[in-house]
Amino acid sequence: MRYEAPQTVDQAISLLAGTHGNPRVLAGGTDLLVQLRAGFIDPELIVDIKQIDETTAITAEDGGFRVGAAVSGARLKEHDTLSLLWPGVVEAADLIGSTQIQGRASMGGNLCNASPAADTVPALIAAGATCALAGPGGRREVPVEEICTGPGQTILTDGEFVVSILLPARGSRSGDAYLRFIPRTEMDIAVVGVGVSLSLGADGQCSAARVAVGAVAPTALLVPAAAEALVGGVVDDAAIDAMAAAVRAVCRPIDDKRGTVAYRIEVAGVLAGRVCRIALERAGST
């Protein structure tokens, strides 16, 4: 097994594209190293992208922020203006692992690991975030909800990797939030996770919304019907109930050691309501 730490995106692409035997990208390594140790993977090459400026920087862009794919949860949380703009995304990243893990774990890794239960993914989808991908065929910008295609599966082609994630600008009177359900208080994996982002118009009515849910399908899902239940009216109990029902309607989870089908569907709706109320409160106070 070979380890490389290129300095540029192009070097990383040529390493990844030029190696057979399933080369793997190393960002924080909090999933990759566990998979290596457990013997799930045996790559010939590991490409550490943490020496590349673009993957480790947080930069302002068009009123939003571009976050390098390898930026750790701890650095994200310490970024005050980003935390003010997208608190739901930052709190989702902050839920991953322990304090020690927070020093390493990245949103890029969380996304590319392609777990249906990844915490940042529903929050990023709700935020309308996009990813900058770079590969032998050039660069492209792709919405986060299009990256994962199934458990452990992504649209990334050979030699292609996620360079950064763009959290877009947003107007005033906007808020986002993320909640997950776990049986413990921390150090666990979401049984269900829900992200909501919404904006209020001058009239107090909901002008825009995005709702995403994780751990209830092979990938995190954007739920347009849930957003439609909110947009164009006052976000009252009835609207929230309708939104929660729309979330439950798209859930197609499995029974496994972390939860049953019925339980996940039920709790997805409960969390959706709670998350929506937090996002609403945040929108009202900005």
Partner 1 sequence: MTDSNKTPSGNGTGNGKDYKWVGTRAVRPDGVDKVTGRAKFGADLHLPNMLVGKVLRSPHAHAHIRSIDTSAAEALSGVKAVITRDDFSDQPKGAVQPAGEMTINYRDMVRNVMAREKALYEGHAIAAVAAVDARIAAKALSLIKVDFEVLPHVIDPVAAMESGAPIIQEDLMTEGMEQSPGAMTNIAKRVEFGHGDVAVGFAEADVVIEREFTTQPVHQAYIEPHACVASMTEDGQGELWLSTQGHYVARGHCATLLGLDVSKLRVQASEIGGGFGGKTVVYLEPLALALSRKACQPVKMAMTREEVFRATGPTSGAHLWVKVGATNDGRITAADAVLKYQAGAFPGSPVAQGAQCAFAPYELNHVRTIGYDILVNRAKVAAYRAPGAPIAEYATESVMDEIAGVIGMDPLEFRLKNAPKQGSQSSYGPKFPVIGCIETLEAARDHDHYQSPLKAGQGRGVATGYWFNIGGQTSATLNLSEDGSVALVLGTVDVGGTRASLSMMAAEELGIDLDKVRPMIGDTSALGYNMLTGGSRVTFAGGIAVVGAAQDLIGTLKDRAAKFWDIPVDDVEWAEGEARATNGYTDNMQPLSLQEIAKDMAKTGGPIVGAHSINAQGAGPSFGTHVVDVDVDRETGRVWVTRYTVVQDAGKAIHPSYVEGQYQGGAVQGIGWALNEEYIYDDKGRLENAGFLDYRVPVCSDVPMIDTVIVEVANPTHPYGVRGVGETPIVPPMAAISNALANALGIRFTDLPMSPPRVLAAIKAANGDATTAS
Q: Is 263 in the site for partner 1 (CB under 8 A)?
A: yes
Residue 188 binds partner 1 (CB under 8 A): yes
Question: Out of 99, 172, 185, 285, which residue is the one contacting partner 1 (CB under 8 A)?
Answer: 185
In Å, how far are 74, 142, 276 from 80, measured between CA atoms?
A: 12, 26, 23
Name the 3-class secondary structure at 60: strand
Residues in the interface with partner 1 (CB under 8 A) total 22
Q: Is 260 in the site for partner 1 (CB under 8 A)?
A: yes
Q: Which is nearer to partner 1, 158 or 266 (CB)?
A: 266
- DSSP character at residue 188: S
Neighbours of 212 (CB within 10 A): 29
Kindly tell me which of 17 and 270 has the beta carbon lying closer to partner 1.
270
Q: Is 240 helix (H, G, I), strand (E, B) or coil?
A: helix
Contact 202, 190 (CB under 8 A): no
* Contacting residue, 10, 44, 186, 281, with partner 1 by CB under 8 A: 186
Query: Which range of residues in 2-10, 72-80, 209-217, 254-262 is near partner 1 by CB under 8 A?
Result: 254-262
Distance, in Å, from the CA atom of 206 to the CA atom of 203, rounded to the nearest integer, reads 9
The reply to whether 86 sits near partner 1 by the rule CB under 8 A is no
Minimum distance of partner 1 from residue 200's CB (angstroms): 26
In the complex with partner 1, the residue whose CB is nearer, 168 or 263, is 263
Chain positions contacting partner 1, by CB under 8 A: 38-39, 181, 183-189, 191, 256-260, 262-263, 265-267, 270
